[in-house]
Amino acid sequence: MTRQRKMTDSNIPYEENVISKEKLKKETINKLTSYHSWRNNKNHKITTIYYSFSQSYSLWETDIKTQQGAPIFSFNHQQINQAKAAMQSYADVANIRFIQASGSNSANLLFLNYEKEVDNASGYAYYPNSGGFSPIWVNYARQDAPTPTITNYGGHIIIHEVGHALGLAHTHTPHGYTQQVSVMSYLPMKYSSSDDHHCYPSTPQMLDISTMQYLYGANLRTRTGATIYGFNSNSEREYFSAYNNHDELIFCVWDAGGIDTFDFSGYQQNQKINLNELSFSDIGGLKGNVSIAADVIIENAIGGSGNDDIRGNSVDNKLTGRLGADQLWGGGGNNTFVYISDSDSLTTAADIIHDFKVNNDKIDLSSLLSEDCDIQLVDKFTFGKINDQVEIMQIFDEDIDITYLLIDLNNNLHENDMMIKLTGKHQLTLNNFIVSPILAA
């Protein structure tokens, strides 16, 4: 059962890493599950769950009327679409599949509306049970219930109640978790500084994913290719896709493999992008709204036009800050810092790479250079003397422990077209630069 709560009461602070992996896997999951599931085997077979939007259960209709004191009626078209999206989001993370029942008598889940203004509840659902039937009821009188979307309260009611019907328990009491880590919580997460701006998670969150995988096993078939999340998304999921600067993304990523990318290039706000598992990112003007589930590796990140903070993980990362004065941390692995335009790191708004490793890392300038250009490391620029020569000058400032890379792309009258800062003293060689698209591929 879920009840409507006002988002304005939340003063819960954003934490970069809310819960440790050890606690998540060894302690929390056992506390957050209801210990009920539809799984009837202990092997790796997929659990099949049948659902229906029919209201032809006469026996249950009587029972529902008795409990709620209100007549029941079918989901509308928008509710049906949102229910299917919610089920898909659970099937993506766990080893389950949903099939629409051909006849109502074969369904495990039945979606129904009831309407009761005086009822404080927004919905009800049964846990999985030996009877094989768990109706899900939504109070049509509640906020946004007739018009659910992936981020409003109507959509939250559905994904919350589906969670109960799959075996997920509440997470707000006694554990105190917020909706930032679980759709099963009543405690709101304030993703925005505006008191009248209320958003809800579009997908199962970090704790929900781990608990679902504890109950049913992980879905290791989900997005095993090169998946892009955010702008230019190929995820085939609306809740992972952004199309303009005003789109609000609130999701936790489960991804089973491939070389994957967080692309938040269309946002103008300052962002914090963290590629580590169990971490949170501030995306598109919201706070702590994008997270990464346990055991998930996202390799690449693309920032927007603000001053972004981008942090890689322990694998080989490709980090693209784009416009603005960005702060970049590659982390472990052999990392590549990518520049698409000369305006990506200007003298007046230069990027800072904080942990550049000369023996491992590279700076990719291939998008800026012609195929027949010559690149040279120089002690002094030679303006206008050599055609098609790109020159890079390195200067170390001992007082602030910064190495400056001054890049002249066209030998014009300007001293340099780009500037990139590296913390610490470095002496780069040509091997640290990617100048050909073939080498960058």
Question: Quick one: 5 exposed, middle or buried, by C-beta within 10 A (0-12, 13-18, 19+)?
Answer: middle
Element (H, E) at 214: helix 206-216
Q: Are 163 and 90 in contact (CB under 8 A)?
A: yes
**Are β-strands 228-231 and 241-242 bridged in parallel, bridged antiparallel, or unpaired?**
parallel
With a CB cutoff of 8 Å and minimum separation 6, the contacts of 228 are 234, 235, 260, 261, 263
Residue (of 380, 385, 386, 375) closest to 416 by Cα position: 380
| Catalytic residue check, 161 | yes
CA distance 154 to 152: 6
Q: DSSP character for 367?
A: G
Residue (of 315, 308, 219) closest to 260 by Cα position: 315
Peptide bond just before 135 cis, omega within 30 deg: no
Which of 15, 117, 161, 248 is the catalytic position?
A: 161
Token pair listed for 157? 């009611």
Catalytic residues: 161
